[in-house]
Structure 1
Amino acid sequence: MKRFGIWIALALAVVAAAVSGGYWWGLQQVSHPSVEMPAAITAPAERKILYYRNPMGLPDTSPVPKQDSMGMDYTPVYADEEVSNNQVKISTDKVQKLGVKTEPVLSRKMVNTVRAVGQFQFNEQRFSTVTTKFEGYIEKLYVNSTGQPVKRGQPLMEVYSPELVSAQEEYLIAWNGRQSLSNGTSESLLGVGQLADSALKRLRNWDISDAQLQRLKKDGKATRTLTMYSPANGVVLEKTAVQGMRFMPGELLFKIADLSRVWLLADVFEQDIALVHVGQTVNITVNAYPGKELKGKIDYIYPTVTSETRTAKVRIVLANPDGILKPDMYASIQLMSGHDASVLAVPDSAVIDSGIRQVVLVQLTEGLYEPREVKLGMRSDGYVEVAEGLSEGENVVVRANFLIDAESNLKAALGSFGEHSSHSSSLPEPAETTPAPVTGHEGH
């Protein structure tokens, strides 16, 4: 009994201490009203679910929880995840799993390299022919082989023509008569002068040079033969003249080609024609001379395309002072074409081309993307010019953009670009579907 009394006394002491402590704490709260009471812990607000989306990205939604045919739960779409109709939102973990990579839109110089092959040809503007305007015979040939090089003014042949001899004699008679009748009447001087002028004009019409006419006056006698000279530098391309042959007025005797400047006719593919312009400088390499680089300029672009090869002829003019470039010799050309100023460009892989329009995915924030229709320009070295639709500094998806398309049902978002005005939302309307049946027995 004594021990029981001790335990009762201890219990009463503990109760008294607790009561006094509570009384002291209450006084402290009254005397120090600035001390705040601990705030009540509030439970987190529930996120509002708008609908449930197909887990495989199919255009199927449900207002209530549901499973697909494979037993996978539909993914909830919350109100704070709602984005604009033309935007696509992907969770951060899925972005990492897909390996999404972006690059900024930057200004760069777009330069394309056009390559083609061609053949050297004679410069048609540097052909010369040797013919006569009178009938005659070839007395002697000085140049008697095709391909022989000749210089301007070099003797080619000597010809005999009765008409030429008669014209020379008439001129000499008229010229000598004018000199002998220097003190005669005006009528006689006029007649002799007209006869001399007529004979002189006849000789000049036959392309007799002034030097030969001066020699005729100086010698005072007609020459039996007339020397024909080369009209230009070059090589004899054609020769029909044979010693002793008779020739008629206008008959071709020599054809001379000047090879100091030649043409290169290159075949440029149809898709590269827009990059080629008259006046462009072209780098040329020839298999016959390895390591030797030549330069020429585009002189003319022919107006037709060869249907078999889908190529157009481009004429390039270049100097050939040493005569090393031969007609029909093959050559390769290379020219650089592009914009002088920098233009906005993105990698080729950033463009999703449907065949009707071209779209890129612009990263707005981490995991939020906006499909943007763009107008493209020239392509070069893995990049494509963007004429409209983007601004410098914007980030575009360059890798896994097609996976984003499949993952987030991007096709529905692209439908809002105007194909049908009624499809204004990238997300389909929630379908009225019944809840999926609950598996198992009730009450378990």
Structure 2
Amino acid sequence: MKAKAIVLALVAVGVVGAGGYGLYSAGIDQGLKLAAPAQGGTAPAGAAGGTSGGGLVDSATGKKVLYWHDPMVPGQKFDKPGKSPFMDMQLVPVYAEDAGDEGSVSINPRIQQNLGIRTAEVTKANLAAALEAVGSVAYNERDLVMVQARSNGFVERLYVRAPLDAVRKSQPLVQLYVPDWVAAQEEYLSVKRMNGTGAEAFVDAARQRMRLAGMTDDHIRLVETTGKVQARMTLTAPVSGVVAELSVREGMTVMSGAPLFRINGLSTVWVNAEVPENVAAQVRPGNVVEARTPSLPGTVFKGKVSAILPEVDPTTRTLKARVELANSGSQLVPGMFATVNFTPHTRQDVLTVPSEAVIATGKRSVVMIAQGDGRFAPVDVEVGIEVDGKTEIRKGLEAGQKVVVSGQFLIDSEASLKGTITRLGEVPAAAEGDKGGDQLHRGQGKVEVIDKDEIVLSHEPIPSLQWGEMTMGFKLPPQGLPKGIAEGDSVTFEIRPRKDGTYEVTSIGPLGASAASGAKGEMKGGMSMPAAPAGAVK
């Protein structure tokens, strides 16, 4: 009956104090005031706060004690055992082998095996990134030749009649009748037949007028050797290739300087390859390349990068690498697709790890290193190129270290369970009492009071939270308690922390049954036990 009275008093205090959380907060504040003198001198009631345990050894366990703390207020440290100024419970020791390095987590070997954790060594290697890009074949604009009319005339005969016709060097293209040449040639022949002093000067002047009329040296020699007027001119192809543009037809009148043909050579061609801008720095003019095209399987074309065009496509975020390829037999024609394999400079003796070991978080890259004895810690790294499943590490690791290549995220979950690290080493400032993140914690105890919307439990120690025995009030599940749960019953339950530092019950059931089979619900806050006579039952 005495215990019953204490429990009923506890419930009354919880109702008056808004679910007990107000008194709990007051208890924390009072405890901090009591513990404050320890920072400068005397500790309260068998405890001294703020300093390390100095290497004391627990006689019961034989382990080295770093300090003592209250699991409800883990940030406050005491250098002696005793009663907590925050809660009606004894301080809990923190051992050196359990605390570990800040930002690291210790995992039992059996748990490591269950998580499927694998490690690999950081090694040095030579890396040559295999970079491929797709592009299309185009004419080599440096092999372009224009054929123009050198004088006014008429098109009498056309030897090449369609665009893209193949032509050979010196092949006839078109025959023109040029009236302006007739007068210049007749004058030259007349002066040449003259005799007397100074006739040679007149011959040179007449020859110069034929040049001014647009006649070539070959045409002038033909007039000189035959002694006849050559009124028609046949234009020939200056290079071998294809007629990329045809601008003349038979019967047309052409003016001096008018373009007649545009001929592109095919001894070399361009491939305009689309290179992603994030790897464009690895491609340089002069780099040797190999190209392949689906239309010619098994054929490899050799070439080199002639230029990187200074323009980024805003849609694809790529730059064009202009690749010049030798085109033996004119096998490559404009418009074909080709895959270009670039061979950037090989990086010598660089640190590498398996690519699966690197976790990209968006703003940074992280790997989990194995420190030995089952300990793991996150490390920020600077990564470089990736080749054949290996990633270059520019900063953050050393050769010979072990990195986790499988189970990294499960290690992080285990770390959250122990409250050591949260999300790969970034430990946020959590509310007091929020130890364990969203991890569920299991316990068992006795139902003391069932109120309208609250249940009071006297529970046994909960190791995952380092809690001792205590009595706490929780909000009932929304769907109510399962049938058969009554005051005085022994039960098992699951709880989880809330952002405000309190805990909530997620499931409850009779002792011996799975807690998950019981009713689900949220816990109202509050550890209703301040340090004083609020009625904690231990």
Deviation at 1:412, TM superposition (A): 8.8
Other-structure match for 2:256: 249
Query: What amino acid is the match of 1:131?
Result: Q
Q: Tell me which of 132, 140, 148 is aligned to 1:123.
A: 140
Is residue 216–residue 222 contact of structure 1 (8 Å, CA) maintained in 2?
Answer: yes
Residue 156 of structure 1 aligns with an amino acid whose one-letter code is L
- How many equivalent residue pairs? 370
Secondary structure of 2:470's aligned partner:
coil
**SS of aligned partner of 1:410:** coil
Compute the displacement of 1:345 (Å). 0.9
Structure 1 residues 6-25: aligned runs within 5 Å = none
- Tell me the amino acid that sits aligned with residue 116 of structure 1: A
Q: Secondary structure at the match of 2:339?
A: strand
1:125 aligned partner, one-letter code: R
Which residue, out of 23, 47, 51, partners 2:63? 47
Q: Give the drift of 1:147.
A: 3.2
Change (3 A) 1:434 1:342: closer
Which has a greater percent of helix?
1
In structure 2, how many angstroms separate the alpha carbons of the residues matched to 1:75 and 1:413? 27
Q: How far apart are residue 213 of structure 1 and its match?
A: 2.1
> Is 1:77–2:94 an aligned residue pair?
yes
The residue type equivalent to 1:209 in the other structure is T
Rg larger for:
1
Q: Distance in 2 between matches of 1:443 and 1:97?
A: 39
Partner of 2:14: none
Residue 292 of structure 2 aligns with an amino acid whose one-letter code is T
Task: Specify the code of the residue in structure 2 equivalent to 1:410.
Answer: I
**TM-align CA RMSD:** 3.9
Cα distance in 1 between the residues matched to 2:471 and 2:404: 42
- Aligned-partner Cα distance in 2 for 1:289–1:434: 74
Mapping for residues 126-275 of structure 1, pairs under 5 Å: 126-177=143-194, 180-181=195-196, 184=197, 188=198, 193=201, 195-205=202-212, 207-275=214-282
Question: For the residues of structure 2 that align with 1:119 and 1:45, how far apart are their CA atoms?
Answer: 74
1:288 maps to which residue?
A: 295
| Contact 2:180-2:213 within 8 A present in 1 as well | no
Return the alpha-carbon distance in structure 2 between the equivalents of residues 391 and 346 of structure 1.
Answer: 11
- Point out where structure 1 has 5 or more consecutive residues left out of the alignment: 1-42, 67-73, 421-432
Distance 1:260 1:167 in 2: 40
Change in CA separation of 1:239 and 1:105 when aligned onto 2, cut-off 3 Å: same
Q: For 1:412 and 1:319, how far apart are their aligned partners in 2?
A: 54
Secondary structure of 2:129's counterpart equals strand
- Alignment partner for residue 297 of structure 1, among 294, 297, 304? 304
| CA contact 1:350–1:396 (8 Å) conserved in 2 | yes
The answer as to whether partners of 2:471 and 2:537 remain within 8 angstroms in 1 is: no
C-alpha change, 1:287 and 1:435, in structure 2 (3 Å) is closer
1-side partners of 2:537 and 2:296: how far apart? 94
Whether 2:335 is the aligned partner of 1:324: answer no
Please report how far the alpha carbon of residue 126 of structure 1 lies from its aligned counterpart in structure 2 after TM superposition.
1.6
Partner residue of 1:437 out of 451, 470, 474:
470
Aligned ranges 1:294-443 → 2 under 5 Å: 294-337=301-344, 339-408=346-415, 409-411=420-422, 414-415=425-426, 436-437=469-470
Give SS of 2:305's match.
Answer: strand
Pick 1 or 2: higher relative contact order, CA cutoff 8 A, min separation 6.
Answer: 1
**Deviation at residue 52 of structure 1 after TM alignment:** 6.4
Contact preservation (8 Å) 1:88, 1:413: no
